[in-house]
Amino acid sequence: MDTFPFQIVGFDLDGTLVDSALDIGPAVNLALRAAGRAEVSLDDTRAMIGGGTRVTLERALKVTGGPLNAAAFEHYHTALLDHYTANITTKTRPYPGCIAALDALAERGCQLAVVTNKAEYLARLLLEELELTPRFASIVGGDTLGRERAKPAPDLIFETIARCGGGSFAMVGDSSFDVRAARSAGVPVAAFSFGYHDMPPADLGADVLLDHFDELVGALERIG
């Protein structure tokens, strides 16, 4: 087998490794109902995910009547988190082909990492409940280094590379947060056409756009 071009592959979590909108959506709608707002659809929820639960709730409030004062927002955000934490993997599952692709990368000597804007404790809880934690050499969240250093800043990528002991790195994600962070860090990036997009997938500007996990290993070999 030829030497694989990347020693570390970092993955976004929500909308990349796992389809978590099925559990985030009900938590968002619980908070909206408590605030006297209309619910949002699952498709709308998918478009709101990215940047962490606070950002998701802010987006949901914006389209259902506008922002709340700080105290009210914190109250309903806490309700969202309580519900989501208790139901974080009720319906959330890895995307088709994800596990096989992770296995294939590990077989090629890659260290795997999670680079997400989700709060680190939530990311770790989700991965632990899905029995995925042992696959990853590093797990960093949007609050690991402070929110001002979350994606699209490159800091989480640099931190991941350091935690993995250095080496060539590629980012895999689904949103502009992932692509912009990779560009700022000067590393290649692959994006999935599925997932949670804040712009049309073809406009993300990734080095390669993929429709299925089955395409990932070959694509990384091409861009490496």
Residues labelled as active-site residues: 12
Q: What does the pLDDT read at residue 2?
A: 66
Q: Which helix (H) or strand (E) holds 26?
A: helix 21-34
Residue 5: cis peptide before it, omega within 30 degrees of 0: no
Model confidence at 127: pLDDT above 50: yes
25-34 confidence digits (pLDDT tens): 999 999 999 9
Q: What does the pLDDT read at residue 212?
A: 97
Q: Which of 44-48, 164-168, 189-193 has the lowest mean pLDDT?
A: 44-48
Model confidence at 1: pLDDT above 60: no
Phi, psi values for residue 173, rounded to 5°: -155, -160
CA-closest candidate to residue 12, choices 117, 88, 101, 98: 117
Model confidence at 85: pLDDT above 80: yes
Q: Return the CATH fold of 21-86.
A: DNA polymerase; domain 1 (1.10.150)
Mean pLDDT of the chain: 96
| CB-CB contact of 186 with 169 (8 Å) | no
State mean pLDDT over 167-188: 97
Q: What is the CATH number of domain 8-19+92-223?
A: 3.40.50.1000
For the chain, percent of residues with pLDDT exceeding 70: 99
Q: What does the pLDDT read at residue 51?
A: 82
- For the chain, the structural domain boundaries read 8-19+92-223, 21-86
Q: Which helix (H) or strand (E) holds 106?
A: helix 98-107
Strands 18-19 and 93-94: antiparallel
d(CA 219, CA 224): 9
